[in-house]
Amino acid sequence: MTARTELSDEALSDLTRRGYSRRGIGKVLSLFAVAPALGSALAAPAVAQEAKGMVMIGANECWTGPLAPGAAAAAAAIATGNRYTGAQREAFAKAVASVEGVPPSHVMAWPGSSDPMARIIVTYCSPTRGLVVANPTFELAESVARYMGVKVAKVPLKADYGHDVKAMLAADPNAGVYYICTPNNPSATLTSLPDVEWLIANKPAGSIVLLDEAYIHFSEARPGAYLAAQDKEVIVLRTFSKLFGMAGMRLGATIARPDLMAKTMRYDGLMASYALPNPSLVCGTASLTEAGLIKARRDEMIAVRSKTLALLDKRGIEHLPAEANFFMVDWKKPAKEVQAAFARESIAIGRSWPIWPTRSRITVGSATEMAAFDAAVVKLNL
């Protein structure tokens, strides 16, 4: 992403009005240049795992690449790579809109979901309007907020591992963003739509419920796009990095009332980053209408996951219920040690979270990869 060095007068006075200091404004500018770096800093452990021959089940990626129709469309688009994007982005928005039942005006394409997430935090949080997240959850929203000097409230998940929306509102009744990740990374558990609706109905005016549905296609739960179609103050975040196997191709979408996203684009003027690679756009467009292939991929993941979870159950190893392509295992001993033991078996499992130091997140890989994981569980006598 390229950042301009100057903000418009309108953007500048908006930031000043919302309580940002000169230093904070400098950070807004630099954030748009470093947001991808923030994202890749979080992904660094995964990159480090790319050692040859490792079974990589630590970074919640899909075990395989794009769906065949998407890959074919992307390959064909390379031949017309001399042309700037335009029609492809519109076609993408229309396809998302038809699948999700929202107007095309409510859909925007992005290079993954990290970029819009960073913008949404900058736009709706400030030194006087905080961020509320679950604990544990995906950390990018919190990282951006901390970088900007925004107050962050972290609220433990409920006993059923859904977000505790009432406690989240109570933790900061005047927050700028309430971040709900469902299925949640790393717990792989869902937050019910009635709970999300309650938060939208009770949150302060002008704030946003940011509904991150990165893993929704791996679940059979109803998606939350209908909330955006009702023009509520909610922004739904989607990525093609997970079930669609496009993490390295960078494609995501926001689904929201158009003015909510327009507000996030005023700090970076004439951003060049809004042009997206055609192969990624056409790959996403050709993939997301393939309901049969999406279901087949989800079913394949569920079958592989069930087999491994059955082994863990048989051995009396505790794990959370899983609604995504990963699950949380409680080893009842330091997860870092267990991760190191798996690494010695050439298996890169996921990390732990500070609130859960004895639990590791395991990504569901291919049947072969999970057979290797299962064998290591037995070998390591876990």
Give the footprint of ligand PLP on this chain (CB under 6 A). 39, 60, 112-114, 138, 181, 185, 212, 214, 239, 241, 247, 252
Instruction: Please tell me the distance from the alpha carbon of residue 251 to that of residue 240, in angstroms, as a whole number.
Output: 5
Cβ distance to ligand PLP smaller for residue 287 or 376: 287
Token pair, residue 118, equals 């960073």
By beta-carbon proximity to ligand PLP, the closer residue of 24 and 279 is 279
Query: Minimum Å distance from CB 39 to ligand PLP?
Result: 6
Q: State in angstroms the smallest separation of the CB of 252 from ligand PLP.
A: 5
Please, what is the minimum distance in Å from the beta carbon of residue 275 to ligand PLP?
17
Three-class secondary structure assignment of the chain = CCCCCCCCHHHHHHHHHCCCCHHHHHHHHHHHHHHHHHHHHHHHHHHHCCCCCCEEECCCCCCCCCCHHHHHHHHHHHHHCCCCCCHHHHHHHHHHHHHHCCCHHHEEEECCCHHHHHHHHHHHCECCECEEEEECCCCHHHHHHHHCCCCEEEEECCCCCCCCHHHHHHHCCCCCEEEEECCCCCCCCCCCHHHHHHHHHHCCCCCEEEEECCCHHHCCCCCCHHHHHCCCCEEEEEECCCCCCCCCCCCEEEECCHHHHHHHHCCCCCCHHHCCCHHHHHHHHHHHCCHHHHHHHHHHHHHHHHHHHHHHHHCCCEECCCCCCEEEEECCCCHHHHHHHHHHCCEEECCCECCECCEEEEECCCHHHHHHHHHHHHHCCC
Closer residue to ligand PLP, CB minimum distance, 15 or 247: 247
Q: Find the shortest distance in angstroms from Cβ 179 to ligand PLP.
A: 10
Closer by beta carbon to ligand PLP, 126 or else 325: 325
Closer CB to ligand PLP, residue 130 or residue 252?
A: 252
CB of 241 within 8 A of CB of 232?
Answer: no
Q: How far is the CB of 368 from ligand PLP (least distance, A)?
A: 23
* CB 158 to ligand PLP: min, Å: 18
- What minimum distance in Å lies between the beta carbon of 364 and ligand PLP? 14
Nearer to ligand PLP, 60 or 123 (CB): 60
Q: Smallest distance from the beta carbon of 131 to ligand PLP, in angstroms?
A: 15
* Cβ distance to ligand PLP smaller for residue 15 or 31: 31
**Cβ closest to ligand PLP, residue 36 vs residue 103:** 36
